[in-house]
Amino acid sequence: MLRLRTRAVLATAAVLSLTSLAACGSVDSASDSTVSPAPAAATDSALTWKAPTGLSGELNLYSANPQGLTDDLVAEFTKETGVKVNVFAGETGKVTAKLDAEWGNPQADLVYLASWAPAAKYAKAGRTLSYKPFGADSVDPSWVGPNDDFIGRDGSALALVVNTSTAKSTPADWSDLTGPDFKDQVIMPDPRESGTARDLIAAMVASQGEAKTWELFDKLFANGMVVQGANGPALDDVTAGSHAVVLGGVDYSAYSAIKKGEALKVVLPSSGTTVTPRPIFITKTSKNPEAAKAFEDFMFAEQGQAISAANFMIPSQSSVPVADGAKPLADIKQFDFTWDKVSATGNDVLDTFVSKYLKK
Amino acid sequence: MTQTQLRPRSSAAAAPSRGRLRAAGGTGALLVLLLVGVGAPLVAVLIRAVTGYDGQPSALGSLVHTDNVRILRNTVLLGLMVVVFSTLMAAPLAFLMSWTRLRRHRWIDVAIMIPFMTPPYVASLAWLDFTRVNGLAEQILGPVGTLVGTVVHTPAGMAAIMSCEIFPFLYLILRNHLDSLPASSDEIARVAGASPWQRLSRVLAPLSTASFSLGALIVFIRAAGEFGAPVTIGNQIGFPVLVSRVYEDVTIDPLDFPSAAAFSSVLLALGVTVWGLQQWVGRRPTPFGGRAARRTTVRLGPLARGLGWAWFWLVFLVSTLIPYVAVILGAMTLLRSRPLSLNNLTFDYFGIVLKPDAGLPALLHSLGFAFVGATLATALGVAVAVAVAGRRSAGKRWVDLLAVAPDTVPAIVLAIGFIFFWNAKWLPATPYNTGWMLIIAYTVIFLPMVVQNVKSSRATIDLRLLEAATVSGATGGQAFIRVMLPLLMPGIVSGWLLAFLIGLREVVVSSLVRPSSMDLLSPWIIGQFDQGHRAEAMAMTVIGVVGSTVLLVVIEAWRRRSSEAKLA
């Protein structure tokens, strides 16, 4: 009896899946985001890095997402040097939680984060090894931490990510979202969960002053803007069409969704935005500093930078071209602020923002 | 006499006094194991709560702040709501599946277990996706869909979604309990002319109080310690609870370990309080005559049968069907910005995630570690459940408390405790950063599940059976292996199975204490979500749940066969 029924269910399921399979679409393998082109063949540029010989042992790398980028970097480095790299990957919060819990007996050699503030905090506490990697001279000075304690190796811009099939018009700047076209159509990642969203507000305050910033947000909230979740869920919400625009969306996730074929558009606001440098540092307690330094050199060399560009990050070396559709650092208008200032004021600005708009 | 016979380790020829001595030794060894495995990490957290951490001062003083009192009240409220909803879902189904003809439909058991096998955050995300603005609910149901969305975004709605995932714990405990109630208890009442209501309120309810209180304890503690729904739905609707507060403290910059440790201590205190309450409620063993060991069967009228089926389908709809429509569509949607159509659906993602450079290693690691962890936890859990039965001593109470303690703190606190303790500099050797750490951690977090199940089975064993074995000349070891163990088997099997399934879906401990380069199933899924690879995440969820279901069906079939053999 049971066997008969099981068989019937299986048969039905098989028929159903076959019929639907025939009618279904398929994932274009070119759009598989985990595959990225091999780094540009080493040209004779001054940024070409040659793997040092004599490295040995292993490295523990704690790295913020996206994991595809980390995996590509590690694979290439291991191929060049033979050093095995153990990766702990996750959101910046998970990575810092593990780091903080381990300070009693640190395990990480290299740390690669997605926001500036924690790196600045660790540097201040004397936990990072001062190091000036290969090619650091051509990195924008605002991306280099004090005393070379840490350094931004690629960046991501915050943008307006627009769903082109649901938005009534294409906004050009933050203030356009206060208009009737975007009534109840805007979502912003929650700055309590997203470090980049918090930095955006702090940078606005640093650049334009409190009065102008809160005036903008007063109007945005009056126009029905919602604040919800971290960066990924906010983009997902707009992709799925629940809202039309992400305010302060991370550019690289949007670019890779566009590459996949989603109906999205990335608009860099005309009045300015932030480009978050994603910092890397070697821990003072590293048990294999030579290999860690080699890894950092590789990350700033043309080979490592090209891998970032292929993953839609903005390279810190301006000579390395960005991916198709993305914008290089020089073409992005930024607010007038310093990362030190934003890191220092971020939490106070966040408190004000939360008590003004998010207290229920 | 009986006491010594209950010990698993009392050797064949042992005189009673020697047996007792060995039993005490066994309890002592268990106590040491549990103190190291469970006690030390929790103490490490408590110490941080008092002393602060890494230059940050203790945060215990801030606990009396009004905001924080509200957080505590929310936590208790949420726990109670989940207990109520879970009872409404689980109790009628457990009764139907144990005491009525509905039990012939074994597939219902499997259907009830599907939400249990779903990672909790996936269920919340699926519900949020189903009810989002312009989502499936609004497209299909129109204004009703909007209404459902509104309900989901309330504390009660959140509690209902959490209950969908937690109620199987209660269901299993109640069903196993009802299965083991001898028919005579109910039949005597029926023969004596008791009405159905009297049989329910005077016989069934009192006999089930201890088991129910155990199940309610598990439900409450899980609801207080589960972070999936609180950090997704709860944060959206502004309903902070202790666990979402701790989660925020340890994952969002600036990290605040003293505050996390302080709030965890509150959660631990809450858990211990509820545990104490359960101990008091279930303090008396349920005595019932074991004359007719078979199960009873209650005949249902057509109306009652119809209501029973309607109730099952309602629970199934809410707990499984709706979330899984969202999950499966998510796993098969090519472009999320395009409308739903056959052209926009694909099976490709199932293949993509099973590639060796994608999710396959994570899946295999999780299977392996969950298996080893569940097996060790089962061995330890049986020892604990058997050791704490019978006459109470201080040692036994400690063993009992420590064995359920991992369920009284949110997993994230335990994970941090593992790191504090096992990565301490003064340890001469440590499993930290190796697979062994994960095995220890899994064993510890699975332990309460196994212990509760085995204890539940243990509570229904009539001691006279063991006495009979002794009288017939069986040694302690024989009585244990030939009488006790077979009677415990249903509890052992469901305990192992539940532990294994939890291992596949567990996310917090898996993400924090795994060795750096070892991927595991749930962290992999949540990582895909975080990076916006929704389809990959959902596809892997489906694969995990289908795999778990197959295992469940196989074990259910075995369980059924063995119980039929027992009745024959």
Q: What is the pLDDT along chain B (568 residues), one digit of tens a residue?
A: 333 333 333 344 444 455 555 667 778 888 998 998 888 988 888 888 888 777 777 878 777 787 888 999 999 999 999 999 999 999 999 999 988 888 888 889 889 988 888 887 888 889 988 988 888 888 888 888 888 888 989 999 999 999 998 899 899 888 888 887 877 778 888 888 888 888 888 888 888 888 888 889 888 988 887 778 888 888 888 898 988 888 888 777 677 888 888 888 888 888 888 888 887 887 766 565 555 567 778 888 889 899 999 999 999 999 999 999 999 998 998 888 888 888 888 888 999 889 888 889 999 999 999 999 999 999 999 998 888 876 678 888 888 888 888 877 667 778 878 888 888 878 888 888 889 999 999 999 999 889 888 887 787 777 788 888 888 888 878 888 888 888 888 889 888 988 999 899 888 788 778 887 788 998 888 888 877 788 999 999 999 999 999 988 888 788 777 767 765 5
Whether residue A22 lies within 8 A of chain B, CB to CB, comes out as no
Question: Is B527 in contact with A237 (Cβ distance < 8 A)?
Answer: no
Residue B21 lies in a domain: no
Contact present, B397 and B256 (Cβ < 8 Å): no
Taking the Cβ of residue A165 and every Cβ of chain B, the question of whether any pair is shorter than 8 Å is answered with yes
* A28: nearest Cα among B349, B356, B540: B349
* B139 domain residue, yes or no: yes
Partner A contacted by B337 (CB < 8 A) = yes
Question: SS3 string of B445-514?
Answer: HHHHHHHHHHHHHHHCCCHHHHHHHHHCCCCHHHHHHHHHHHHHHHHHHHHHHHHHHHHHHCCHHHHHHC
Matching residue, tokens 């269901």:
B171
Do B524 and B381 sit in the same domain of this protein?
A: yes
What does the CA dihedral B261, B263, B268, B272 come to, rounded to 10 degrees? 150
Is A117 in Cβ contact with B337 (below 8 Å)?
Answer: no
Q: Does B344 touch chain A (CB under 8 A)?
A: yes
Cβ count within 10 A of residue B167: 28
**Alpha carbon distance B568, B558 (integer Å):** 15
Distance from CA of A138 to the nearest CA of B (A): 30
β-partners of residue B275 are: none
Q: How would residue A17 be classed by pLDDT, with cut points 50, 70 and 90?
A: low
Alpha carbon distances (Å) from A302 to A40, A43, A157, A329: 8, 9, 21, 16
Put simply, whether B472 touches A (Cβ < 8 Å) is no
How many Å lie between the alpha carbon of A307 and the closest alpha carbon of chain B? Answer: 17
A5 to chain B: closest CA residue: B107
pLDDT over 70 at A28, yes or no: no
One-letter identity of residue B41:
P
| pLDDT category of residue A36 using cuts at 50, 70 and 90 | very low
Q: Which of residues 95-154 of B touch A (CB under 8 A)?
A: 106, 129, 132-135
Report yes or no: A189 at the B interface, CB cutoff 8 Å: no
Which residues are bridge partners to A58 per DSSP? A84
Whether residue B66 lies within 8 A of chain A, CB to CB, comes out as no
Please report the sign of the dihedral spanned by the C-alpha atoms of residue A300, residue A304, residue A309, residue A311.
negative
C-alpha span between B490 and B562 (Å, rounded): 10
Most A CBs within 10 Å, among B56, B109, B110, B133, to test the A interface: B133
Q: How far is A242 from chain B (nearest CA, A)?
A: 5
**Does the residue B18 lie in any domain?**
no
Pick from A34, A103, A115: which is nearest to B253 by CB?
A115
Non-local CB neighbours of B250 within 8 Å, separated by 6+ positions: A93, A97, B256, B257, B260, B412, B416
Residue with tokens 């290693």: B361
Residues B404, B508 share a domain:
yes
The answer on B294 and B424 residing in a single domain is no
B5 falls within a domain: no
Same structural domain, B218 and B115: yes
Q: Which residues in chain A (278-337) have CB-CB distances under 8 A to chain B?
A: none
pTM of the model: 0.82
Please calculate the CA angle B455-B175-B27 and round it to the nearest 5 degrees: 5
Domain boundary among B289, B314, B340: B340
Residue B447: domain span: 28-51+347-568
Among A90, A242, A256, beta carbon nearest to B134: A242
CA–CA separation, A193 vs B565, rounded Å?
A: 56
- Do B336 and B351 lie in one domain? The reply is no
Residue that is last in its domain, among B340, B359, B377: B340
Residues B289 and B358 in one domain: no
Distance from the Cα of B236 to chain A's closest Cα (Å) equals 6
Considering only CA atoms, which of B264, B271, B150 is closest in space to residue B221? B271
For chain A, domains (ranges, CATH) are: 58-155+276-326 (3.40.190.10), 157-274+339-358 (3.40.190.10)
CATH at B326: 1.10.3720.10
Tally the residues of chain B.
568
CB atoms within 10 A of CB B236: 18
The confidence score (pLDDT) of residue A20 equals 52
Looking up tokens 């810190």 gives: A316
Average pLDDT of chain A? 87
Taking the Cβ of residue B358 and every Cβ of chain A, the question of whether any pair is shorter than 8 Å is answered with yes
Quote the CA–CA distance of A177 and A185 in Å, as a whole number.
9
pLDDT per residue as tens digits for the range A57-83: 899 999 987 888 999 999 999 999 999
Q: Minimal Cα–Cα distance from B532 to chain A, Å?
A: 5
pLDDT at B14: 40
- Could you tell me if A116 and A128 are in contact, meaning their C-beta atoms sit under 8 angstroms apart? no
A102, A117, A242 member nearest B135 (Cβ) = A242
| Same domain, yes or no: B353 and B207 | no
Q: Does B263 touch chain A (CB under 8 A)?
A: no
pLDDT at site B499: 92
| Cβ pair B252:A228 closer than 8 A | no
Q: Which residues of A touch B517 (CB under 8 A)?
A: 85-88
Other beta carbons less than 10 A from residue B68's beta carbon: 19
Residue contact B358–A34, C-beta within 8 A: yes
Residue of chain A nearest B250, judged by CA positions: A97
- Residue A289 pLDDT greater than 60, yes or no: yes
Contact A281, A150 (CB under 8 A): yes
Do B334 and B379 lie in one domain? The reply is no
Q: Do the domain assignments include residue B353?
A: yes
Smallest Cα–Cα separation from B223: which of B407, B362, B62, B43? B407
Q: Quick one: which of B499, B508, B505 has its CA closest to B521?
A: B505
> Which residues of chain A have a CB within 8 Å of the CB of B343?
23-25
Q: Of chain B residues 490-549, which have a CB less than 8 A from chain A?
A: 511-512, 515-517, 523, 527, 529-534
Give the pLDDT of residue A15: 53
User: Do B247 and B139 fall into the same domain?
Assistant: yes
B566 and B484 within one domain:
yes
What amino acid occupies position B158? M
* CA distance readout (Å), B264 to A162, B28, B50, B316: 41, 28, 12, 34
Structural domains counted in chain B: 2
Do the beta carbons of residue A55 and residue A80 sit within 8 Å? no
Domain for residue B460, yes or no?
A: yes
Q: Say which residue, A348 or B17, is predicted with more confidence.
A: A348
Percentage of residues of chain A with pLDDT beyond 90: 65
**How far is the alpha carbon of B357 from chain A, nearest alpha carbon, in Å?**
9
């589960």: which residue's tokens? B226
Closest Cα to residue A354, out of B248, B203, B266, B138?
A: B248
pLDDT at B6: 37
| Same domain for B423 and B281 | no
Cβ neighbors of B228 (< 8 A, separation 6 or more) are B119, B120, B121, B122, B123, B124, B162, B165
- Report the gap between the CA of A23 and the closest CA in chain B (Å): 6
Segment 412-441 of chain B within 8 Å of chain A by CB: 416, 419-420, 423-425, 433
Min Cα–Cα distance to chain A from B52, Å: 13
Contact A102 B342 (CB under 8 A): no
Q: What is the distance between the alpha carbons of residues B506 and B544, in angstroms, rounded to a whole number?
A: 12
Q: Are A97 and B255 inside 8 Å of each other by CB?
A: yes
Q: Is residue B15 part of a domain?
A: no
Please indicate whether, in this complex, the C-beta atoms of B251 and A241 are within 8 angstroms of each other: no
In one-letter notation, the amino acid at residue B105 is H
Mutating which of A33, A100, A237, A258 best tests the B interface, going by the most B Cβ atoms within 10 A?
A100
Domain boundary pick from B294, B316, B340: B340
| Residues B317 and B366 both lie in one domain | no
Q: For residue B60, which amino acid is it?
A: L
Residue with tokens 């109630």: B181
**Positive or negative CA dihedral for A329, A334, A338, A343?**
negative
